[in-house]
Amino acid sequence: MNTENDHTTGFPPFLQRILKQFKDLQLLQQRKLLTFLFFIIISTAFWFARSLGEVYEDEVTYPVRYVNFPDNKVLFGQVPDRLKLRVRAPGFSILKSKLNLNLVPLKFNVSSFSLNSIGVDTFYVVTETVKDLLSAEFDQVTILDISPDTLFFRFTDMVVKKVAVRPILDMHDKFYQKQFMKNGSIVVTPDSIIISGPGTIIRKLTGIDTKPIRFTNLSDTAQAQCALKPINMVAYSQQEVQVTLPVDRFTEVDENVTIVPVNVPDSLNLIAIPGQVTLTYNICLSNYNKLTKNPPVPHIDYNALRKGQISRLSVFLTDTPGIISNVRFNPKETEFLITRK
């Protein structure tokens, strides 16, 4: 019984056969074979290093970074972030490019080139005319050809603007603990930021949203540092704001309130039937006494009758106090009676 451990069992069959044949050789033959292999590897390494020193022509794909745009202009639209270059260079430089080893992007100095206009804000550069200037960016590399053969640039005015920051809550069923709710307005610090970018984009923006703010089981006022939702090609004066969300316990209120008609001609009376509705809403306990100064008043609108023959009018609030929420009416609609004064 052979108790010697075979350490080659994990190798492929063909490699196991080679190793077995190697073990069967005498010690002197093993040493000669290892010496031969060593010199083969050294020779190959020297040949490879010498080959990399030779000058070759080949195609490489190279990253590019566009800099120095015309004054008060910003690039609008797409330009290639990589150029296909046909170059003459030492083999090592070409190999480095093909393997993307620590490639520093090629600087494309837009203002230093002659731009040809094809419109108010659109220009182009024929890459054949700039290859010598771009070659100066490299060490021991000469650019022979560039693809694409033409680069198009669309510029627009750089605009700076101050806009409000809008907090966005990622609401879900367990955002607040039971019997708790938002108590007043969300406070954002700072409440506005400076943005800059292409005028065609900036002029349309009225505010910047935060990324969705997520809480779970809130039962007290909460604060959080919130990132702003990015917009392509728009720069922000800061990337985060502090958001304070006031939270308090609430109660549900039911009360019978008289309906007040609105927009009724001076010569007529509009009477709701029934004259009262049950108004239900949620209000934080700390705000309950404030409601006496601005109680919610349900209305029906005479102007709704101008839309056609209707037999019932919807009940609504014209000025819903900001301290109440989840407002409901019972009934939601009422019959009515019109009389002359």
Q: How confident is the model at residue 279 (pLDDT cuts 50, 70, 90)?
A: very high
Q: How confident is the model at residue 3 (pLDDT cuts 50, 70, 90)?
A: very low
Q: How confident is the model at residue 34 (pLDDT cuts 50, 70, 90)?
A: low
Does position 284 have pLDDT exceeding 70, yes or no? Answer: yes
pLDDT tens digits, one per residue of 62-120: 788 888 877 777 777 788 888 888 877 765 555 455 545 456 677 887 777 667 777 66
Tell if the pTM clears 0.85, that is, is over it.
no
Amino acid at position 189, single letter = T
Mark out the alpha helices in 54-151 (DSSP H runs).
91-98, 131-135
pLDDT of residue 92: 55
Residue 202, phi then psi, degrees to nearest 5: -60, -40
Does position 289 have pLDDT exceeding 70, yes or no? Answer: yes
Other CB atoms within a 10 A radius of the CB of residue 96 amount to 16
**Sheet strands (E) in 91-239:** 106-109, 116-117, 122-126, 142-147, 150-166, 180-182, 187-189, 192-198, 207-209, 222-227, 235-236
Cα–Cα nearest to 97, from 129, 64, 127, 126: 64
CA 120 and chain centroid, separation: 31
Pairwise CA distance, residues 90 & 51, whole Å: 9
Give the mean pLDDT of the chain: 82
SS3 state at 332: coil
Residue pointed to by tokens 């750089």: 158
Amino acid at position 334, single letter = T
pLDDT tens digits, one per residue of 170-221: 999 999 999 999 998 999 999 999 999 888 899 999 999 999 999 999 999 9
Which tokens sit at 61? Answer: 């794909």
Residue pointed to by tokens 């693809």: 147
Pairwise CA distance, residues 323 & 294, whole Å: 10
pLDDT tens digits, one per residue of 234-247: 999 999 999 999 99
pLDDT of residue 2: 44
- Output the CA torsion 127→129→132→134 (10° steps): -40
Does position 27 have pLDDT exceeding 60, yes or no? Answer: no
Does residue 305 contact residue 166 with C-beta atoms inside 8 Å?
A: no
**Mean pLDDT across the stretch 27-37?**
61
Q: How confident is the model at residue 4 (pLDDT cuts 50, 70, 90)?
A: very low
pLDDT of residue 292: 78
**Mean pLDDT across the stretch 305-322?**
87
pLDDT tens digits, one per residue of 124-152: 888 888 777 777 766 667 778 888 888 88
